[in-house]
Amino acid sequence: MVLVSTFPRALLQISKKFKPIPSQRYFSTAMSAFLCDHLKQIHSTALKSVNGDTLIKEIISFNKGSMIITRESEIKQFDLNGKDVYLIGSGKGVLGLCLGFLKALERQNASRNDRITITKGIISMPVGIKCHHFDLLERHNITAFFGAKNNLPDEDSVVATNAILDLIDSVIKGETSSRPKVFISLITGGASALLVAPREPLTLTKKRELTQTLMAAGCTINELNSVRSCWSKVKAGQLALRVLSESNNVEMVNLIASDVIGDPMDIIGSGPTVLPPDDSLNPLEIIDMYKISIDEDIRNLCQLVKPSSNIDDRLHNLIIVNNRIALNSITNLMTQLDYKIIDLGNQISGEASTLGSRFAQIARTSEKGEGKICWIGGGETVVTLTTTHGKGGRCQEMALQFLIDTFHDQLTNFAFLAGGTDGQDGPTPISGIIYQYSDRITSEIYDAAKVHLSNHDAYTFWSENLPECMIDTGGPTGVNVMDIYCLLQC
């Protein structure tokens, strides 16, 4: 299948009549040494801007027993007075959102007599997340589970999901009290691998195998989530149905952090709280398009039927974090540093290497004397793997293609960033790459780059040849709002 890259139209019109760059265009490394420092600032600023613990302060407040959610010019208010409140959550960014939520709740409780309490809660997050403030979780009766090592569903994911389902069943079916009930859920990217409850006869091992096959075939995240949804007891709105179908005395408020282009709530985390729209992608068509062979009993699971249960008035889904917030923080930072900003948008997609070439083309054809320019964008690319391949990630592969395409131009006045926000680019321990040409980039390194790119072995290349270019966040960052791309010129 040929993937068509999504890239701003204006940048697709870059002159095809490329001319060699005159030697006077080269800048000394000393003159442009600050570029990589600025890219490091960009990455850290973006991560901080979407950290739930920081962001919740600006979005959620409590007043007289009500939870108030403010997003730009929109305000939503939910009455929690006299209700049993439960909190559940899952994803790479759930801990930050949970801590921010609890701190906002404690600020309310410290200043008023009408205290709001969490009756019980469970959150599920990836292995490797630095879990701090356990005392805060314990004070509010919240238990933390860990799973999905290397962003793949595992038995720990199943245990955590079953714990959440058991909590829901004990509250809804057990009817522990006659008081109205509110479930507040926090859903972020990564929930697809953490909220895991395969439908029989599908096993976790088989589901994981089929997921990896789809990814290797070049399946986009939207397509992948559509297929995984029909194989699960919790995805595609089924978690919400579990909460709301049994009783009219229950309400559900879902706060969602988007890691998907366009913020489609039915795709984020495989949409556990969002009923599938009528025009949902057809899972069987996706499987057949990528020529994936599956057993007939597994194919039979790929028939999603939208439920007729009348729960819409008690189900509330709200996007509170997305990639645009990160890009806006970058714009503010680079404006302060006197850069001209060219915003490429946050819907960049397609083959990672193709996008690397597009950014290289911008650098190779940019006019001299334009001053400091910052091209920024966000999105999520793919890498279509061959049968035999090495180790890498989409950001590493994009940067590797950029290196190859610009090597002969020796563009010391440019630096390029391709970085994830979750701290883990593919099955590797790094977030991405910050690259700038220097005299250290020899012809031997250039030749090695081409070999490693052809083998989709970008991580091996960067770790063996240019480890100083690798972005190491020390593990998962606790946030996840797609990738960010930035090209700087001085």
Question: How does pLDDT run across 411-427, given as a tens digit for each residue?
Answer: 999 999 999 999 999 99
Helix axes 394-406, 352-365, angle to 10 degrees: 40
pLDDT given for residue 404 in this prediction: 98
13 band by pLDDT with thresholds 50, 70 and 90: very low
User: What's 114's DSSP letter?
Assistant: S
Average pLDDT rounded to a whole number, residues 396-417:
97
**Angstrom distance (rounded) from CA 418 to CA 432:** 6
Please give the backbone phi and psi of residue 69, each rounded to the nearest 5 degrees, phi first: -115, 120
Tell me the longest C-alpha to C-alpha distance in the chain: 79
Helix (H, G, I), strand (E, B) or coil at 331: helix
Among 130-134, 261-265, 455-459, name the one with the lowest average pLDDT: 130-134
Q: Which residue has the higher pLDDT, 16 or 279?
A: 279
Structure tokens at 275: 């009923």
C-alpha 382 chain-centroid distance? 13
Average pLDDT rounded to a whole number, residues 2-24:
41
Helix (H, G, I), strand (E, B) or coil at 234: coil
| Spatial contact of 117 and 153, defined as CB atoms under 8 Å apart | no
Average pLDDT rounded to a whole number, residues 119-132:
90
| Spatial contact of 489 and 416, defined as CB atoms under 8 Å apart | no
pLDDT given for residue 20 in this prediction: 36
Structural domains in the chain?
A: 9-48+325-489 (3.40.1480.10), 53-321 (3.40.50.10180)
Taking alpha carbons only, the member of 414, 451, 459, 456 closest to residue 435 is 414
pLDDT given for residue 177 in this prediction: 72
pLDDT given for residue 304 in this prediction: 56
From residue 323, give the alpha-carbon distance in Å to each of 189, 263, 380, 471, 483.
12, 9, 10, 19, 8
pLDDT given for residue 231 in this prediction: 86
Among 103-117, 118-132, 235-249, name the one with the lowest average pLDDT: 103-117
pLDDT given for residue 15 in this prediction: 34
pLDDT given for residue 10 in this prediction: 44
Q: Which residue has the higher pLDDT, 307 or 195?
A: 195
**Angstrom distance (rounded) from CA 269 to CA 235:** 8
Average pLDDT rounded to a whole number, residues 115-131:
91
pTM of the entire structure?
0.86
Q: Which residue has the higher pLDDT, 368 or 479?
A: 479
Average pLDDT rounded to a whole number, residues 444-469:
97
pLDDT given for residue 117 in this prediction: 93
| Spatial contact of 131 and 169, defined as CB atoms under 8 Å apart | no
Structure tokens at 458: 């970008």
21 band by pLDDT with thresholds 50, 70 and 90: very low
pLDDT given for residue 24 in this prediction: 34
User: What's 31's DSSP letter?
Assistant: T
For residues 40-54, one letter each, b for 16 or more C-beta atoms within 10 angstroms of the residue's C-beta and e for the rest, the string is eebbeebbebbbbbe
pLDDT given for residue 12 in this prediction: 47
3-state helix, strand, coil in the chain (%, to 5): 40, 20, 40
**Angstrom distance (rounded) from CA 19 to CA 306:** 56
For the cut 60, the answer to whether the pLDDT of residue 5 exceeds it is no
- Amino acid identity of residue 389, one-letter, is H
**Angstrom distance (rounded) from CA 274 to CA 270:** 9
Greatest mean pLDDT among 27-36, 122-131, 302-311, 481-490? 481-490
pLDDT given for residue 7 in this prediction: 57
**Angstrom distance (rounded) from CA 55 to CA 67:** 16
pLDDT given for residue 454 in this prediction: 96
Question: Tell me: the pLDDT tens digits for 141-188?
Answer: 999 999 998 788 899 999 999 999 999 999 998 766 789 999 999 999
Q: Which residue has the higher pLDDT, 359 or 27?
A: 359
pLDDT given for residue 306 in this prediction: 57
| Spatial contact of 448 and 290, defined as CB atoms under 8 Å apart | no
pLDDT given for residue 256 in this prediction: 97
Report the DSSP beta bridge partners of residue 427: none
Report the DSSP beta bridge partners of residue 223: none
For the cut 70, the answer to whether the pLDDT of residue 14 exceeds it is no
Question: Tell me: the pLDDT tens digits for 286-343?
Answer: 999 999 988 898 888 887 555 556 788 999 999 999 999 999 999 999 999 999 999 9
**Angstrom distance (rounded) from CA 218 to CA 228:** 15
Edge-to-edge order in the sheet of strand 74-79: 60-63, 66-71, 74-79
pLDDT given for residue 152 in this prediction: 84
Please give the backbone phi and psi of residue 102, each rounded to the nearest 5 degrees, phi first: -65, -35
- Amino acid identity of residue 224, one-letter, is L
- Amino acid identity of residue 393, one-letter, is G
For the cut 90, the answer to whether the pLDDT of residue 447 exceeds it is yes
Question: Tell me: the pLDDT tens digits for 205-249?
Answer: 988 889 889 988 988 877 887 887 788 899 989 999 999 998 899
For the cut 80, the answer to whether the pLDDT of residue 356 exceeds it is yes
**Angstrom distance (rounded) from CA 261 to CA 171:** 35
pLDDT given for residue 131 in this prediction: 75
For residues 304-322, one letter each, b for 16 or more C-beta atoms within 10 angstroms of the residue's C-beta and e for the rest, the string is beeeeeebeebbbbeebbb
| Spatial contact of 62 and 108, defined as CB atoms under 8 Å apart | yes
Helix (H, G, I), strand (E, B) or coil at 66: strand
